Amino acid sequence: MYKTEGFIEQHFHGAFGIDFMDCTADEVVDVAVEMAKFGTTIIYPTLMTGEISQIKKQIAVMKEAQAKQPAQSAKIAGVHLEGPFINSLKKGIHQQEYILKPTIQDYKKIEDEIIKIVTLAPELDENRNLCKYLKDKGVKIQAGHTMADDLTYCNSVTHLFNAMAPLSHKFKNIISGSLVNDDIYVELIADGNHVVDEVLEMVFKLKAMDKIILISDALPIAHEGGKKGVFAGQDVYLNNGSFYNTNGTLAGSGMFQCDILKRLVTSGLLSFEQAAYMMNISPAKYLNLLHNAYVLFDDDLNPVQVNFI
């Protein structure tokens, strides 16, 4: 059997049919309880681009869930805000009508101490005013859904390679910039669809292990059992472990971190210890967290027991 610290999931949009953009506090608690059974013991529910009023409402829901969750569940450590302050050119499945320019004035409409991570397009932040504001507040700033080539004030890059300008050998680029900058963390969706294995292998060789955070970017319909659902107001379909909309745009993963770990280890891309490190130690360092549980995995790499500290 394998033993490791519980996984930290800093980027997922829900699970088991529960959408963090449209759910109750009790439903968030249900997700937290169930996620622990899959080896993920600290979570950052991720809210995406939507109406300001809806985002504000769901932030209140997350705070209520955080206050009432039981001890034997994944700890709700904060909220990851992915949007609405993104670049329309790289919106992915985010809804265009709700995208806003990153300004302090608009951020203050939804600002709350539970927000610990903000994904935004830094190139649209005039004089990096919002980035400076977030930095002063201790909020982690991630460049994502962006055309940026400058990572000044950013702590990390959201789902590297996805929803950003492609790597270029002729122009300054967010991808090359994040790979060579030892101070920048990178999120990586290693489900085999968002980033092909050869490119994953390249990242594992180029980037220090403690600066790579393996996330799932799981959608609300992950592990629900179906192959079709609705996300961001659009129909999405499960294909080979990931969800796509009707236009073929990648919408997110149908896998959890434990599923991704098994895929990486069985394919020979990483050892169990390496994959687990990027799911627990790296994000713990990034977010200044202490682990709250240990997880036992069987020989088939399935989580079978969670022991909370």
Helix (H, G, I), strand (E, B) or coil at 95: coil
Q: Any residues with CB less than 8 A from the CB of 170 and at least 6 apart, and which?
A: none
CA dihedral 95, 101, 106, 112 (to 10 degrees): 70
Q: Rounded CA gap, 261 and 269, in Å?
A: 10
Structural domain containing residue 11: 2-308
C-beta separation of 155 from 142 below 8 A: yes
- Strand pairing category for 212-215 and 185-189: parallel
Q: DSSP for 185-232?
A: EEEEE-SSSSS-HHHHHHHHHHS-GGGEEEE--B-TTTTSS-SEEEET
Q: Any residues with CB less than 8 A from the CB of 73 and at least 6 apart, and which?
A: 29, 32, 33, 35, 36
Backbone angles phi, psi at 121, to 5 degrees: -100, 100
Element containing residue 44 per DSSP (H, E): strand 40-48
Task: Please give the chain's pLDDT, 309 residues, in tens.
Answer: 899 999 999 999 999 999 999 999 999 999 999 999 999 999 999 999 999 999 999 999 999 999 999 999 999 999 999 999 999 999 999 999 999 999 999 999 999 999 999 999 999 999 999 999 999 999 999 999 999 999 999 999 999 999 999 999 999 999 999 999 999 999 999 999 999 999 999 999 999 999 999 999 999 999 998 889 999 999 999 998 999 999 999 999 999 999 999 999 999 999 999 999 999 999 999 999 999 999 999 999 999 999 999
Q: Rounded CA gap, 15 and 43, in Å?
A: 12
In the chain, the number of structural domains is 1
- CATH number at 207 reads 3.20.20.140
C-beta separation of 74 from 28 below 8 A: no
Q: For residue range 232-279, list pLDDT tens digits in order.
A: 999 999 998 999 999 999 999 999 999 999 999 999 999 999 999 999
Residue percentage of the chain with pLDDT more than 70: 100
